[in-house]
Amino acid sequence: MRFESQERATTTALAAQEKAVAAALAAADRAVAKAESASERRFESVNEFRGTLLDQARTFMPRLEYETSHKALVEKVEAVQKFLWMGLGAMVAVQLFIGFVFVFLKKTP
């Protein structure tokens, strides 16, 4: 009788232990699935960010191309400024010449 009660207690304890281990394994499987899902979402966002950076790298103008284009624009602006200053200088010279002509014409009787 004592042996039978111990055997039942052991069987009951083993059954409870099996249920607990099964529940723990199921919980661990759910936790692993959640962790894998979270990692997958994180890697998707990292890959999306990486794709955005690649798109930017493809669409941005390279430094050398910008410097070449900027230098050409600066040269054009300087040429226009030079032309403008030359035109203003010519206008001042013409006005000065006309002023001298009027002064000399006025002085002559």
pLDDT for the residue numbered 103: 85
- C-alpha 11/C-alpha 17 separation (Å) is 10
Chain centroid offset of residue 104 CA: 71
Ranges of the chain with pLDDT below 50 = none
Sign of CA dihedral 42, 43, 44, 45: positive
How remote is the C-alpha of 7 from its chain's centroid?
70
Q: What is the pLDDT of residue 6?
A: 84
Q: What pLDDT is recorded for position 105?
A: 82
> pTM value?
0.46
Neighbours of 108 (CB within 10 A): 5
Q: Would you list the domain boundaries of the chain?
A: 1-60, 63-109
- DSSP, res 1: -
Q: What is the pLDDT of residue 109?
A: 62
Please give the pLDDT value at position 33.
Answer: 92
> Alpha-carbon distance 11 to 55, whole Å?
65
pLDDT at 106: 81
Q: Name the CA dihedral angle for 32, 36, 42, 46, rounded to a multiple of 10 degrees.
A: 140
